[in-house]
Structure 1
């Protein structure tokens, strides 16, 4: 398991947060998602054998949001 931390461009409303969270949590291999509205970050725990942080970033971009940075941390 790994944790993706994606830094987003400006989120303008709480409904943006909900839209992103629903799209990411529905991806195969994702077990937990937190969208931090004020920080402009998405944190997602995922199974690296089923998806990747880059794929999650692509899902967010397809929704029309800017992904500025992608970081992956291995979970113990």
Structure 2
């Protein structure tokens, strides 16, 4: 993990899902190394979620072990 002072603008587009696709299968805490353009929402198994749409919000669907299964905007 990088120190906060080492974070730079990675130029993520939209919510960043395309540029962060390499994190699929990794622990969701790896997202802390990136400056996201919007909010992050972590979706755990069987968790209730709202249906509001926020195009710049990155959603990380994770399994019970906290590994990223899917990244998507919304």
TM range (shorter): under 0.3
Structure possessing the higher relative contact order (Cα contacts under 8 Å, 6 or more residues apart): 1
Structure-2-length-normalised TM-score:
0.28
Structure-1-length-normalised TM-score:
0.27
| Higher normalized helix content (fraction of residues) | 1
Structure with the greater alpha carbon radius of gyration: 2
| Higher normalized strand content (fraction of residues) | 1
